[in-house]
Amino acid sequence: MGFLQNFFWYMILIGVMILIHELGHYVAARIFDVKVETFSFGFGKRLWGFQHGETDFRISLIPFGGYVKMTGEQYSGDVNDPKGTPATVSGETDPRALTSKPRWQRMIIAFAGPGINIVLAIALLAGLFMVRYPKVPNPNSPFVGYLLKDGAAAKAGVRVGDQVVQVDDMVDPTWEQISLHEVTSPNHPMQVWVKRGNERLHLAVTPTLDEKQGLGNSGWQQETDVEVAEVKSGRSGDQAGLQAGDILVSVNGEKLRYTSRLNEIEKETDGAPLALVYSRKGVEGRVTVKPVKSNDNGEAAWLIGLTLSERHEITRLALPQALYQSTRWNLLQSKMILQLLERMVSQKMPAKSLSGPIGMAKMSGEAAREGVISFIGLMAGVSLNLAIFNLLPIPILDGGVMLMLFIEMLMRRDVDLKVKEAVLKVGFVFLMFVLVFALYNDISKSFPAG
């Protein structure tokens, strides 16, 4: 049942993305009076469709993309018809053929697909921020609140409470910027400056490679207020009078700087009573809570029955602020995606972070079960990824089409048709290779890292 749900929500997600992307091409083509022969969801053999005007709207066999076929276009989206249809009318060039239009118009038509995906990503996220904007404490030069004992940051000499003031060329970075930078830097030393008391120290932190996800991880987290998200009924935390919304200040005299630390203290104290200091609506309280051995996560552990989260304020942004924050987030994500791609191409990191249909289906199902906000957020992220992927200068993709047009503009003549056909075939084979590789990644992530 879980698989079917995941597949259903994946089809909803990818269906909307394909529809919006191809609609961009379709509208731009109609604006410049280019004849659109086919608007297809999927590639390959036609399964079902209908004729509207001069366009065949169809669903095709392979549901991992889509295409708009315009008269005169070399690639039709059908592997059985790679050349498309002749662009002639009574032996003369069809004035409504794509190839009859100026190259600058063809450039706009090619860009319209990924362009509308970028607009959609910004619009969706801005809309979410106007309804629910989680304002997480994220000041410049953030403090380290948690360190994994054997993590890269701890081994480099970083301590809990250190203030991160610079990472490589980023001065006074936010933790968001730090996190995006470290995931693209596995096994690559980051030059980090921290402020510890009155000292400014220079350390080299080398994020380790997460073998399963293919991303860098330094084993550190930003200091944040620790909020009680849920109190399990009947457990010792509930019996002590703790409530959802309480802020845990300290445990056994140790300031609590991050959510994971409480579980570590429960384990270290081996069931001994814990002296908790908490804040409720600005009023400080103190309780003593004795952990009980429970099997909540599949293994026995000392717990007091609390679910913790980073404290954040939920607010709503006005349209200008929402657009600004959405644009800022999309720019940061774009930078991270491009850095990941650059490091994959240069073989500085493996391509395990690529997700295929199985991974996307799993994410779609999880987001849908979390609620509308999570699903729309995922949709915004996928729309941005789709835009960037399609803008890559790879034959058959929009970026490859734009690159070819740019070359022709410089040459002031068309590239030989046989060369174009050969390039398109190479591009198609490359895309199939990427799809197979992404499927392999999805399957390998289902098994424990060895």
The per-residue pLDDT for range 8-34, each reduced to its tens digit, is 888 888 888 888 999 999 999 999 999
Average pLDDT over residues 132-152: 83
Q: What is the pTM of this model?
A: 0.77
Tell whether the model's pLDDT for residue 86 goes beyond 50. no
For residue range 360-373, list pLDDT tens digits in order. 888 888 888 888 88
Q: Please report, rounded to a whole number, the percentage of residues in the chain having pLDDT higher than 90.
A: 41
Report whether 74 contacts 420 (CB < 8 A). yes
Long-range (24+ apart) CB contacts under 8 A made by 26-31 are 26/68, 27/112, 28/108, 28/109, 28/112, 29/68, 29/70, 29/98, 29/109
For residue range 301-350, list pLDDT tens digits in order. 888 988 998 887 788 999 999 999 999 999 988 988 888 888 777 766 66
Mean per-residue pLDDT over the chain, rounded:
85
Report whether 74 contacts 38 (CB < 8 A). no
Q: What share of the chain is helix, strand, coil (3-state, %, to 5)?
A: 40, 25, 30
Tell whether the model's pLDDT for residue 91 goes beyond 70. no
CATH number, domain 144-222:
2.30.42.10
Q: How many residues does the chain have?
A: 450
Tell whether the model's pLDDT for residue 118 goes beyond 80. yes
Residue type, 382: V
> Which pLDDT score is estimated for 319?
94
Average pLDDT over residues 293-308: 80
- How far CA 216 is from CA of 96, 150, 191, 207, in Å, comes to 50, 15, 15, 5
User: Of 266, 211, 208, nearest to 237 (Cα)?
Assistant: 266
CATH H-level, domain 226-310: superfamily:
PDZ domain (2.30.42.10)
Average pLDDT over residues 405-428: 83
> Which pLDDT score is estimated for 121?
95
Sign, CA dihedral 315-318-323-324, equals: negative
Tell whether the model's pLDDT for residue 436 goes beyond 80. no
What is the spatial distance between Cα 94 and Cα 72, in angstroms, rounded to a whole number?
Answer: 8
Q: Which two tokens stand for residue 126?
A: 């801005």
Q: In sequence order, what E strands does 53-182 have?
A: 55-70, 88-89, 92-93, 133-135, 144-147, 163-167, 170-171
Q: What residue ranges of the chain are covered by domains with CATH 2.30.42.10?
A: 144-222, 226-310
Residue type, 431: L
